[in-house]
Chain A
Amino acid sequence: FVLSQPPSASVALGQTVTLSCGGRNFGNENVHWYQHRPGQAPVLVIYDDDDRPSGTPIRFSGSKTGNTATLVIGSAEAGDEADYFCQVWDSRLDLPVFGGGTKLTVL
């Protein structure tokens, strides 16, 4: 994968977790985040580094500095348990590239 993500993370119910995405100098690239629950379609939760589509709870926030993008989930709920993927659009290849995904467990 072009983007690197830790394979797993865990968070206690009600606590905050930070998921990271790196592996390249993002520069002007826009980082997007997807939540993929088992058996469901992936859902876009953050686009353009830190914007939330309508429907994404305010508990989800994104940021980016230099070589690292982060997704922060506050007040974690059981329903947040999922795989989370980061993605950028590679302008040279003209296609999206994904991270390998982080499996989030809510304890």
Chain B
Amino acid sequence: QVHLEEAGPGLVRPSETLSLTCDVSGASVSIYFWGWVRRPTGRGLEWIGRLYNSTTSLNYNPSLKDRVELSMNTIQNQFSLRLSSVTDADAGVYYCVRVWPPYFYALDVWGQGTTVIVSS
């Protein structure tokens, strides 16, 4: 069974960079599609981006692409998110997910989520 777990600081100062990691167990991070979704406070789900096989297939939400960087560490079987120049609008819960092509690219596995607060 695939299990995802997010980790990272819960508090980020405005204009600084948010860094999160997602630890993957039950599957190799190098052979599936993985991504990040967030739920800003009081709003709906928002796609951030996805990666596959380290850097061969990266895709970002156009509204965030100038600030987002995704990466993968196959040795530690994890993938990461960096979001620069954060503002209040970036506060919320961040989830790492698996994108499952056999389910027509549904997001079939989700981490429990990590809450991010933006405050000085």
Contacts and interface: CB of A to CB of B under 8 A. Distances in A.
Interface of A: 1, 30, 32, 34, 36, 40-44, 47-48, 51, 53, 83, 85, 87, 89, 93-101
Interface string B86-120: 00000000010001000111111011110000000
A44 B108 CA distance: 6
Contacts, number: 67
Interface string B46-78: 110110000000011110000000000000000
B44 A41 contact: no
Contacts of B49: 95
B45 interface: yes
Given A47-B103, A47-B104, 9 more contacts: A1-B44, A32-B106, A34-B45, A42-B45, A42-B110, A87-B106, A89-B104, A96-B99, A100-B44
Interface of B: 37, 39, 44-47, 49-50, 59-62, 95, 99, 103-108, 110-113
A41 B112 contact: yes
Contacts of B62: 93
Contacts of A51: 103
A36 B45 CA distance: 10
Main secondary structure of the interface of B (DSSP, over half): strand
B110 A87 contact: no
A99 B59 CA distance: 20
Contacts of A93: 62
B111 A41 contact: yes
Nearest to A85: B45
B50 A47 contact: no
A95 B107 contact: no
B33 to A, nearest CB: 11
Nearest to A49: B104
B47 A97 contact: yes
Contact of B104 (A1, A48, A83): A48
Contacts of A97: 47
